[in-house]
Amino acid sequence: MDNVKKWIYERKIRDCMKVLEEKQYNPVYAKDKDEARKIVMDMIPEGAKIAVGGSVTLNETGILDEIQSGKYNFIDRYHTSSFEEMLDKYREGYTADYMVSSTNAITMKGQLVNIDCTGNRTSQIVFGPKKVIIVAGANKIVETVEDGIKRAKSVAPMNARRITHKTPCATDDNCRCTDCNVHPRVCNVTSIVEGCTYFPKRITIVLVPEDLGY
């Protein structure tokens, strides 16, 4: 990343962090994805029960590899023998000590905007796990909720393609949201978290001045 773009990202994060602090989140700055990984893993004690949301960011930062290293009680949603077993893993995630994920968008008013297929990620960010850690690149910061939803919809084709859901948006001749009505639709649940005033500091948001995830 060039220095000018990083400079812009750093200032956008600075302004966003002020609002996040006012909303009772626990915002943390990481200078790059490697520092983000260290910050996250330093927060989680060995043996802790961890759930994760589907996230390209966790792969790009190496956080998912660390979580699966054997040091933690990882609720493994990835190696299941059936859809029902995977759903059971999702349900177990509500009892986790930590839920680690990214977010589709963070607004400059301190709102987390997410669109989900199953709803396990959106709902666990809202309630269930004792602590939530969100890792996000500055590319996820937007002005408004409407911008956040638009952003989430714009990357839905990539996420559908990534998880091999056969939706209209994931076809070679489309690549855009059509507000479909098919079984594998990935945009089933939309959540907006307004802040952490009821559970202060429950959600930590690690912000990185880089492009991370979709």
Please check whether residue 115 lies inside any domain of the structure: yes
pLDDT at 176: 81
Structure tokens at 203: 């959600």
pLDDT digit string, tens, across residues 57-100: 999 999 999 999 999 999 999 999 999 999 999 999 999 999 99
Q: How many domains does the chain have?
A: 1
- pLDDT exceeds cutoff 80 at 174: no
Of the listed ranges 30-39, 40-49, 117-126, 176-185, the least confidently predicted one is 176-185
Give residues with Cβ within 8 angstroms of 168, minimum separation 6. 174, 178, 180, 182
Please check whether residue 214 lies inside any domain of the structure: no
Tell me the residue range of the domain where 54 lies.
3-208
Q: How would you class 35 by CB atoms within 10 Å of its CB: exposed for 0-12, middle for 13-18, buried for 19 or more?
A: middle
Give the pLDDT band of residue 172 (cuts 50, 70, 90). low
Average pLDDT over residues 130-140: 98
pLDDT digit string, tens, across residues 34-49: 999 999 999 999 999 9
Among residues 82, 111, 84, 104, the alpha carbon closest in space to that of 151 is found at: 104
- pLDDT exceeds cutoff 90 at 14: yes
Task: Answer for the pair 52, 67: CB distance below 8 angstroms, yes or no.
Answer: yes
Please check whether residue 213 lies inside any domain of the structure: no
CA atoms of 3 and 209, how far apart (whole Å): 11
pTM check: above 0.75 = yes
Structure tokens at 75: 């609720």
- pLDDT exceeds cutoff 80 at 138: yes
Please check whether residue 41 lies inside any domain of the structure: yes
Task: Answer for the pair 135, 170: CB distance below 8 angstroms, yes or no.
Answer: no
Which CATH number is 60's domain given? 3.40.50.10420
Instruction: State which amino acid sits at residue 190.
Output: T
